[in-house]
Amino acid sequence: MNTTVSLKRLIPGLIIGPASWLGPYIAASSLFLPALIQQLDAQNKIQLVALFSTCGMVVAAISNMVAGYLSDRTRSRFGKRTPWLVGGAAVFMLSMILASTANSIPFLLVSWMLGQIALNFIVAPMVAWLDLAPENGKATASGAYGGLGMALGNNGFTIFAAMFLGQFRLGFIIFGIMTFVGTLIAAIIVREPSNLTEERIEPEKKEKISFKAAMKVFPRWKVGRDYYLALIGKLFQGVGNFSITGYLLFIMTDFLHKETAATQQSIQLINMIMLVFGIAMGFIAGPLSDKYKVLKLPVGLSTISLGIGALSMFFLQNDLGILIYGFAAGLGMGIWNSLDNLLNLEVIPDKNRVAFFLGIYNLGNTVTQAIAPVLAAFVISQFSFSSIFIVSFIFSAIGGLCILSIKSVAR
């Protein structure tokens, strides 16, 4: 049975929902967490950001798969996604409140790991709401989720969050509450239908605990080639993006040598430009993709644009470079966020496990934020701060080429 929800309900939920989890997470991971780590142990801040990222990557990968698996098999009067994402939002709020009270690195690490688990119980079920869209409106729904919702989350919240650089402990609390309230509002708007009568997905009994059954979770390359290329593309794109944004605070202070006020203004400028592009692409990219049946090309080229933006800061190292980065990365991320989830939906190898495969794909939004700082910390220590811009360009370009290599989506 194909359950659909009217776009009039689904689109507002797909804007408010991802903005509510991604915005506070981006604010906390790129601004509040580094600031608190710097307060607790300034001497080891680069290595500690990498440590938090590594631990977060492992926890996020496991919890995302578990969340997708459980969500796909849930039967409730509120549907299969809503109970998990609302519960995850409540625990994420609690974890941010705990982080705000941290006076030691170990306590902060535990609080942050709890938040990583909770976050993925929002992400994996919520992105599967895209499958509720009518067939002729899936690109529009994807544009709402990625182009508008994630643009607000990635950039809109960061503009506001920069105001809390001097009160980052309060920032943890406020943005944690925003996640819970926003997610709850999105769930109420979408009103996911009951699925109590839906047929359960049961594994074959003889393979229930076998290694062979476990290996079947992921299809062979021959079957899932295009899905894997999309996943690899997203991972490389994510590292290219977050190797810059994850260290944006330190880029401004340690690389460009800006004072606190100038740092705040530069971060707000970048995010304002990216927000405008993100919202514009949210309105434009999805409907144009539906109309002209073009998907792979804009998604692939968008990540290459992101890498070009990174090079501008490498070569110019001034406010003009920041401005060009904002425009190039804003255009790239606006198109990418609007269409990449739809691209993944097109190449999913098993339509009975939508939340699982979309959830794995969307690990690119959390795991790459963990990988990128680790990689950036390594290249900074081995070379210099400027090397992360080259890393961003190379990874973004490889990600774009992987997307363009997909065969089952013509253009």
Q: Is 150 exposed, middle or buried (0-12, 13-18, 19+ CB in 10 A)?
A: buried
Residues 194-247 have pLDDT tens digits of 888 776 655 544 445 444 554 566 777 877 788 889 889 988 988 888 888 777
Distance separating alpha carbons of residues 252 and 271, to the nearest angstrom? 14
Distance separating alpha carbons of residues 10 and 126, to the nearest angstrom? 11
Residue 272 belongs to some domain of the structure: yes
Q: What is the DSSP string of 343-371?
A: HHHHH-S-GGGHHHHHHHHGGGGTHHHHH
State the DSSP H helix or E strand holding residue 296, giving kind and residue range, or none if neither. helix 296-316
Residue 202 belongs to some domain of the structure: no
Residue 129 belongs to some domain of the structure: yes
Q: List the domain range (segments joined by +) for residue 242.
A: 7-195+220-404
Distance separating alpha carbons of residues 212 and 397, to the nearest angstrom? 36
Residue 252 belongs to some domain of the structure: yes
Residues 113-128 have pLDDT tens digits of 999 999 989 988 888 8
Distance separating alpha carbons of residues 247 and 45, to the nearest angstrom? 11
Distance separating alpha carbons of residues 250 and 3, to the nearest angstrom? 47
pLDDT at 211: 47
Report the domain count for the chain. 1
Question: Is the pLDDT reported for residue 24 higher than 70?
Answer: yes
**For range 244-261, the mean pLDDT:** 77
**Is the distance from CB of 112 to CB of 373 less than 8 angstroms?**
no
Residue 210 belongs to some domain of the structure: no
Question: Is the pLDDT reported for residue 175 higher than 70?
Answer: yes
Distance separating alpha carbons of residues 259 and 114, to the nearest angstrom? 33
Count of CA atoms in the C-beta half-sphere (13 A) of 359: 29
> Cβ of 305: how many Cβ atoms within 10 Å?
20
Residue 204 belongs to some domain of the structure: no
Residue 135 belongs to some domain of the structure: yes
> Cβ of 204: how many Cβ atoms within 10 Å?
9
* CATH code of residue 257: 1.20.1250.20
Residues 265-298 have pLDDT tens digits of 888 788 788 778 877 877 787 778 777 778 888 8
Residue 123 belongs to some domain of the structure: yes
